[in-house]
């Protein structure tokens, strides 16, 4: 089984994913980091040079590659659900957890994250809060449709979120 984490930027996919992978003794993959490492450039630079359609193609390829392995935790980019083919890959190869947070929480986390500029290029050219609101509005139904489980991350501890995922999907944990 592969555990996929989906959701908007700064909802905790990478943080929860790393903790969950450690807990289960499984490898962790972040598709955005995978794309950046393969390209030798940041997501922002890839998008600036080649555009969003090119990035989405690389995202689909990265997902197809990780879906061939088993027993891993995969944090996906926020826009992974924009392509129905990606959702089909995730649904047939694993379980999908939607990590969600309120727009104020997302804004706070983005402003506090030094990596935001390189890893999170503008999606709409709008101001930060306007972009969060408009993109969340567009993607919310796609996240809902793709998710097997939805968890709010605004006020939950990472361990609690991991507990809920493990319990929901009845995963055997690595024991020391």
Inter-residue contact 86 to 4 (CB < 8 Å): no
On the CB side of 73, CA atoms within 13 Å amount to 23
Annotated binding site for substrate: 32, 56, 78, 139
pLDDT at site 62: 96
Backbone angles phi, psi at 100, to 5 degrees: -130, 155
Domains, the chain, in order of start with CATH, read 2-167 (3.40.50.300)
Annotated binding site: 10-15, 32, 56, 78, 120, 139
pLDDT at site 119: 59
Low-confidence ranges of the chain (pLDDT < 50): 175-176
Q: What pTM does this model have?
A: 0.92
pLDDT at site 110: 85
pLDDT at site 120: 61
Annotated binding site for ATP: 10-15, 120
- Hey, is 83 helix, strand or coil? coil
What is the CB neighbour count within 10 angstroms for residue 25? 12
Annotated binding site for Mg(2+): 14
d(CA 127, CA 58): 27
pLDDT at site 176: 39
Say how far residue 75 (Cα) sits from the centre of its chain.
Answer: 4
């Amino acid at each position: 089984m592969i555990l996929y984490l989906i959701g908007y930027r700064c909802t905790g996919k990478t943080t929860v994913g790393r903790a969950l992978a450690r807990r289960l003794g499984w490898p962790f993959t972040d598709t955005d980091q995978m794309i950046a490492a393969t390209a030798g450039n940041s997501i922002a630079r890839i998008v600036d040079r080649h555009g969003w359609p090119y990035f989405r193609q690389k995202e689909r390829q990265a997902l197809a590659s990780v879906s061939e392995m088993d027993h891993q935790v995969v944090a996906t980019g926020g826009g992974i659900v924009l392509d129905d083919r990606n959702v089909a890959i995730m649904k047939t190869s694993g379980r999908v957890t939607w990590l969600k947070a309120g727009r104020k929480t997302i804004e706070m986390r983005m402003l506090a994250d030094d990596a935001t500029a390189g890893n999170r290029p503008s999606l709409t050219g709008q101001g930060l809060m306007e972009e969060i609101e408009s993109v969340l509005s567009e993607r919310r139904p796609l996240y809902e449709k793709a998710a097997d489980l939805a968890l709010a991350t605004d006020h939950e501890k990472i361990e609690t979120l991991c507990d809920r995922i493990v319990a929901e999907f009845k995963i055997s944990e690595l024991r020391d």
